[in-house]
């Protein structure tokens, strides 16, 4: 009987201790949180932040005491960030490689697939409610006007529905030097983006992979469509 009680308590203890809560769509935030398990006061840069809790890559870090910059092209999402993360810098903007006028393929407020990438919009095959004319900005311009102008970022998260490479092209890697980058990679050659369909060869041959590796980053993991790159100096 005592042995059974011991075994029960052992299992119960492990269940409690090993309980995993995640908030990102893929669970990638668990891997990120593990990388920074000894860092309770870091800085994140979240582009395409969407919702401050649901499907969010930085909420676990925010709960630990991290702060940073959250950027989304939907003002409704930024309103939620201003309410729930008032100490962060929360900005409504569409990020690209330059300042220019472009089309926003708009489905509805707070939609995770609102995008300025026409190919991705066609891939989703969802009904567009409106095509809006908007102006893009660059990360360098936005950060220059923020309190994080000279900040080295621990984590950079980018999820902008197919426009990720353009975001990186307007970002100074030497100045901001994020230790870890998590970025969404939408493989439009697939009939449906699911974890069982992912092909590592398509990732390695992509422009996104080649660009980030040229910036001194190594791909260390990927979950669903989220790629994790680590700075080789980290």
The tens digit of pLDDT for each residue in 106-120 reads 777 867 767 777 776
Please report the pLDDT score of residue 102 as a whole number.
85
Please report the pLDDT score of residue 130 as a whole number.
81
The answer to the question of residue 219 being in a domain is yes
- Name the domain count of the chain: 1
φ, ψ at 198 (rounded to 5°): -65, 140
Please report the pLDDT score of residue 103 as a whole number.
77
CATH number of the domain where residue 191 is located: 3.40.50.150
CA distance 105 to 91: 20
CA distance 72 to 109: 12
Please report the pLDDT score of residue 183 as a whole number.
97
Q: Which helix (H) or strand (E) holds 6?
A: helix 2-17
The answer to the question of residue 163 being in a domain is yes
Give percent of the chain with pLDDT exceeding 90.
61
Q: Which residues of the chain carry a pLDDT beneath 50?
A: none
Question: What range does the domain containing 62 cover?
Answer: 22-92+150-231
The answer to the question of residue 157 being in a domain is yes
The answer to the question of residue 107 being in a domain is no
Q: What is the pTM of this model?
A: 0.87
Please report the pLDDT score of residue 8 as a whole number.
63
The answer to the question of residue 129 being in a domain is no
The answer to the question of residue 72 being in a domain is yes
Please report the pLDDT score of residue 224 as a whole number.
86
Name which of 130, 26, 114 is nearest 75 in CA terms. 114
Please report the pLDDT score of residue 18 as a whole number.
55
The answer to the question of residue 55 being in a domain is yes
What would the two tokens of residue 155 be? 């984590």
Report the SS3 class of residue 72. Answer: strand
Please report the pLDDT score of residue 16 as a whole number.
63
Residues 6+ apart with CB under 8 A from 93: 71, 72, 73, 136, 137, 142
Summarised one tens digit per residue, pLDDT across range 14-66 is 556 656 688 898 889 999 999 999 999 999 999 999 999 989 999 999 999 99
**In sequence order, which ranges of 177-222 are alpha helices (DSSP H)?**
200-204, 207-214
Tokens 């029960």 appear where? 8
The answer to the question of residue 49 being in a domain is yes
């Amino acid at each position: 009987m005592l042995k059974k009680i011991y075994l029960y308590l052992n299992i119960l203890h492990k269940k409690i201790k090993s309980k995993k809560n995640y908030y990102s769509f893929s669970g990638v935030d668990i891997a990120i949180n593990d990388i920074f398990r000894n860092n309770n006061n870091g800085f994140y840069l979240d582009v395409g932040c969407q919702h401050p809790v649901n499907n969010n890559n930085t909420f676990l870090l925010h709960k630990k005491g991290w702060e940073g910059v959250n950027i989304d092209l939907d003002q409704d999402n930024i309103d939620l960030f201003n309410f729930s993360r008032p100490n962060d810098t929360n900005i409504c903007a569409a990020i690209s490689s330059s300042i220019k006028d472009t089309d926003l393929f708009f489905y509805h407020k707070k939609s995770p697939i609102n995008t300025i990438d026409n190919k991705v919009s066609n891939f989703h095959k969802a009904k567009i409610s409106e095509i809006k004319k908007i102006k893009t900005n660059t990360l360098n311009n936005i950060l220059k006007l923020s309190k994080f102008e000279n900040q080295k970022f621990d984590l950079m998260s980018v999820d902008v529905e197919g426009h990720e490479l353009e975001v990186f092209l307007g970002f100074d890697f030497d100045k901001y030097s994020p230790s870890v980058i998590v970025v969404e990679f939408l493989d439009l050659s697939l009939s449906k983006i699911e974890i069982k369909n992912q092909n590592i060869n398509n990732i390695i041959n992509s422009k996104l992979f080649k660009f980030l590796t040229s910036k001194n980053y190594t791909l260390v993991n990927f979950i669903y469509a989220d790629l994790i790159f680590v700075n080789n100096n980290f």
